[in-house]
Structure formats: C-alpha cells, structure tokens
Chain A
Amino acid sequence: MIRVVVKRLLVGVLVMWGAASLIFVIVRVAPGDPATLMLGPDAPPDQVRELTATLGLDRPMPLQYLSYLGDVVQLRFGDSYLFNRPAMAEVFERMPATAELMLASTTIAVIAGLALGLLAGGRPGGLLDRVVSGGTIALQSFPTFWTGIMLILIFALALRVLPSAGTGTPAHLVLPAITLALPFTATVARLTRTSVAETMHEQYIRTARSKGLTERQVLLGHALRNSLIPVVTIIGLHMGGLMGGAVVVENVFAWPGVGTLVVESVANRDYTVVQAATFLVAGIVMAFNLAADLVYSQLDPRIRMESAA
C-alpha cells in the first residue's frame, strides 16, 4: 500500500512539473509584454526596461525556466500587481470559499447520485429507471450558467426563499452548491445505474440469492460495493472537474472563491495570480485523482493485491 502511494506521488510530482512548464510556456507565447501590460501602454521605455529586468524577463529562456521552477517549488509566483501581495497568498485566501462550495456540491451529488442510481439500477427497465435515465440526460445537457440563472429566477426572485448571490449564511450556499452539483449528480446516477444493473447479472449475485437473501440484502450487501468501483473513479475525476465548473458558478452567484478571483485576474491581466491559481487547481485535480486511485484499490481486493506485488 505504502509503495503504491509513493509511486503515485512520484507520478504526481511529474504531472505538476508538466503543469508548471505548460504555464511557463503559455505565459511566454501569449501576446503582449508583461512589463508593458503592467505599466500601461503609455509608460516610458526605460521604466519598462527596468521592470523587465526586475522580473528577470531579459535573461536567457533556460535560465528563466530554471529560476521559475525554483520559485514554483516554493509556491512563489511573484506578487499580484492588483493586490500588491504574493499571488499565492491571494489564491490561498480565496480557497476556503471554493472548497466549501465543492464539498457541498460533492456531498449532494454523491448522496443523490448513488441513491438514484441504486434505485434505477436495481430494477432496470422499471418506471423509476426510465425517469432517472431520462432526467439525468437533461441535467447533464444544461449548462451550469443557465441552470444557475434559472434557479435564481425561481428561488430568489419568484419564491424569495433563498438569496440570489453573495455569502455569509448557509442559505447563501444552497443555490450555488445545487447548481454545481446537478450535472455531477446526473453523472454519478447514470454511472451507478449502469454499474449496478451490470453487477446484478454477475454469478455471485445468483449465489447471494441462493442463500435466501432478500433483493434488498442482495443489492446492498453484494451489488453495491462491486458497482461502486467505477463510480468512485468518476467521483474523483469529476471532483477535479468541479474546479472548472466552480469558475462559472462562482461568477453567476458572486461567490468569493478562486473562480471569481481567476476571472477578475484574467480581466485585469494579473498574470501572477492566474499562474498561481492554475498551478493550485492542477494540484487539487491531481490530489483527487490520487485519492480516487487509493479508494479504488481499497474497494477491490484484487487490485490491492496486484499493486502490492
């Protein structure tokens, strides 16, 4: 087990190095000179030259890359010119709000998705199965900015039961969390349904029935865990993907998280913040994938053995 974790962590370091390098390249090939952008088009040339030197942008590319990697290892991405403080500090400060949103969404999606998927998959072709299968396709197809606005229209404007934007109370969390959770719920439900329906055809399900178990006992005692193996992987992958959805949802609901920060920074060409946020998001996505891998191997003893060998 420990060996697996170490192996995956080493792969993770490689991935992060790749992500950091990609950020480096993208910033270099993006049009516009950072110093000019920071100082504005009317800045005197010697001032621009001075800032370029301060930023180290006049040095040879390989040297820039090496010192950049050195900074990345220490999570130093330079100062945000908008906030006048280290970019990473700004990103970290916004992180709890985003984490709160993601956690709430994931909880909703996993509970609702598993329940719907189990109910539908336990009886493939039944009424509930058709409702769930049809409904989830719809949920997966709606873009989040649209569902977000629809939920605001219904619950904030028409019914006036929930706040439309901002933060502070648990009620503020409800609409953005649901908006972010809906497509995720649909994905979990669909996958669980397929997986459960497939598992119910396995021969060990027959064995379980031959023991005189009730259908419920068969479903929860024998089908659920085996069906969960692919679902857990998707949950892990999708939680990383939630970061992307969070950018949209946070902006729709004016949620003060990393997503709104990224959009603000892009609009203001605050590159250091964009880089820091991108790097952090890459790290979070990777961490979730790692977690999914580990849970996956815990659920299936066959994988546990293989990876230990």
Chain B
Amino acid sequence: MTVSLEVAGLVVDLPGRDGPVRVVDEVSFDIAPATTVGLIGESGSGKTMTANAVIDLLPDGARTGGALRWQGEDLLQVSASRRRRVRGHEIAMIFQDPLAALNPTQTVGRQVGEILRRAGRPSDEVRRRVLELLDRTGIPEPATRSRNYPHEFSGGMRQRAMIALALAGSPALLLADEPTTALDVTVQARILRLLRDIQEDEGLAMLLVSHDLRVVNHVAHQVVVMYAGRVAERGPTAALLSKPAHPYTRALVDSVPAVRTRTALAHPLPGTPATPANRPSGCAFHPRCPIARELCRTEQPAVREVGAGRWTACHFAEELVG
C-alpha cells in the first residue's frame, strides 16, 4: 500500500503560562491515497492541532517535532516557501465554521478562484473552473451564486462553497476540521455525502477531524482515536467500531445513542477528559477506565499491533477484543 501522508511521531508544543504544553504527543498514522482517515477525540485531544500541523497553520509560537512525510518529503524539514506552496495546491483544508472562514467582503466566486488567479491562470479559465467547482459541490445556478457574498448563502451552501474553495487548487489531500459541526442536522448528512462522493470521484486522500463517531463511521475507511494528545487506537473503521481494542473507544461507542432502539439509553463517558496540560500518570485514560489496574497508573502503554492493521495503546487490549 502506498502512502500519501505519513505522520510519524508528530509532536506539537504550544506556549503556555507555565512553559510549553505538549498538545500532540508522538502521534503516528498513515493516510493512503484515495482513502479517508477519521481523526476522532473529545475537545482537547489534539485532533485539530494534528490537522493544523499537517497544513502548517499552527498558532504563533508552536513548536513541532517528529516527521510529516508528504509523498516522501518531510514537510517539517522543507523551506518555508516550499511549505507555503504545498498549502492549497497539494494539501487543502475545510474549516468548521464556513461563515467565519469566508471573507465577508469578497464574492464567493472571487474567493473560490483566488488560488487559480494567483497562480496566473487566465481570467476566463478561472471563471470557467469556478463555475465548474460550484456546480460540482452542488450549488445551484453557479453563475449567479458566484457573484453573491457569503452572508447571502445558507449555512450548507457556505460549506459547499468552502469545499469548492479547497478543491480549487486540485489538492491530493483534503483536511476537513469538523466540517459539519456548525451546520443544521438536516444539512450535515448532505455535506458528508458530498465530501464522500468528492473523495471517491477525485481519488482524494482525506483526513476528517470530528468528535462525532457517527460522522466518522459514515465517511472514514480508517479511524484514529486520540486521547489527551496521544493515539489511543487506530484501525479499519468497521472492525474498530464493532470491536474496540481500547476502553476509551468502547466508551465512545457506548456513548452514542442508538437511534433505532428505544430501550437502550446511551451511556455517557464517566469523568472529565484529561487535558494535555494536566495529564494523569501512566495511561492518561486510567482515571475514567473501567478496567484500569495498578500498571495503568504507573506505565504509559506503547502503541502496539493487535491484529490486522489494528493498533492500540492499552495494556489489556486482549481482554476487550477477546
């Protein structure tokens, strides 16, 4: 299997009041071409920071370590200008709140076409491509809508425009940071379907960051579960969700309300999420873990393979998988 992005031991430190805080700690996973990886975790788990590190949009003062091998080239080692040229043209990003992420003073068409215009494409070609992209992302009457401003669009339409904007540079990897969280429930499914269709049609690699297991289940081929800045578990979506090999994943699965069955109540996760600044000793999940033992308090579990493509950071994964 070829790899388009290899995240290897990625570390992100953010400046904090009492020195740097490690928000992403030795995170490793691969994204193969034409596959979607779902990156899941509670807020503060480091999932968004991981995506920001990939596209180099970390906050000021952030420091990185490890490697981000993009088609063989370590993005953490290349020059700033090479890094900038990767943005948009090879790796693009969709943001959570499309209203805030679009410039209020520019028409949608102008913003979608900007990357092409800056690349020196002739204006009639840019225009044709913009209309094509708006049409592809399901925006009706592209010619009229391209002249509208973001505030004249509905929430779902804005996110479609945002997707068109991200696709304009013909990227090979699309990062989607909670792309449906800010949208109405009825619109969420449609945007997810659009993302999945585009990913399949264009053969894109996609990293979908979400706190919502159902979203990831819909779209992702592989899942990476993060907890307190580290990888808890990763593996193929169906296997991982049906037979979690980490108690945190199992707790996440149990916390999703089953819509069809009226009897079973969802089990919310006990306790509060560990934060990177306030990480418990040993396995960070142990204070909330139903199967924690003494070992979990003292020793941080390494990420190890527990079956075909399944990796977990739990000392007692075998007890879960059976």
A-side interface residues toward B, CB under 8 Å? 202-204, 206-214, 217, 221-222, 225-226, 299-302, 305
Contacts and interface: CB of A to CB of B under 8 A. Distances in A.
B100 A212 contact: no
Contacts of B189: none
B163 to A, nearest CB: 12
Which 6 A-B residue pairs are closest in the complex by CB-CB distance?
Answer: A212-B88, A212-B87, A203-B100, A211-B88, A204-B103, A301-B149
A210 B100 contact: no
Contacts of B166: 210
A301 B105 contact: yes
B105 A214 contact: no
A289 B97 CA distance: 35
B84 interface: yes
Nearest to A213: B118
A207 B115 contact: no
Contacts of A209: 57, 87
Contacts of A305: 149, 151-152
A210 B92 contact: yes
Contacts of B102: 204, 207
Contact of A210 (B93, B106, B149, B151): B93
B289 interface: no
B24 interface: no
A301 B92 CA distance: 27
Nearest to B151: A302
A163 to B, nearest CB: 44
A208 B89 CA distance: 13
Interface string B219-255: 0000000000000000000000000000000000000
17 contacts: A203-B97, A203-B100, A204-B102, A204-B103, A204-B104, A207-B102, A207-B111, A207-B165, A209-B87, A212-B85, A212-B89, A217-B118, A222-B106, A226-B103, A299-B105, A301-B151, A302-B104
Contacts of B295: none
Interface string B110-122: 0100110010000
A300 B114 contact: no
Contacts of A202: 100
A217 B85 CA distance: 13
Nearest to B152: A305
Nearest to A306: B151
A226 B88 contact: no
Given A217-B118, A301-B149, A206 B87 contact: no
A204 B87 contact: no
B88 A210 contact: yes
Q: Which of B89, B92, B95, B101 has the most CB of A within 10 A?
A: B101
A60 to B, nearest CB: 56
Interface string B46-76: 0000000001010000000000000000000
B104 A211 contact: no
A289 to B, nearest CB: 22
B169 interface: yes
A217 B117 CA distance: 12
A225 B106 CA distance: 10
A75 B152 CA distance: 46
Q: Which of B105, B152, B166 has the most CB of A within 10 A?
A: B105
B86 interface: yes
B38 to A, nearest CB: 20
Given A202-B100, A208-B114, A211-B169, 9 more contacts: A204-B102, A206-B101, A207-B95, A210-B57, A210-B166, A211-B87, A212-B86, A221-B114, A301-B105
B210 to A, nearest CB: 18
Nearest to A209: B57
Contacts of A302: 104, 149, 151
B89 A204 contact: no
Given A210-B55, A211-B87, A203 B101 contact: yes
Contacts of B95: 203, 206-207
Interface in B182-221: none
Contacts of B88: 210-213
Nearest to A124: B60
A300 B100 CA distance: 15
Given A212-B87, A212-B89, A212-B169, A207 B149 contact: no
A209 B106 CA distance: 16
A191 B149 CA distance: 26
Contacts of B84: 212-214
B118 A226 contact: no
Q: Which of A202, A209, A300, A305 has the most CB of B within 10 A?
A: A209
Contact of A211 (B100, B105, B114, B149): B114
Contacts of B165: 207, 211
Contacts of B105: 225-226, 299-301
A157 to B, nearest CB: 49
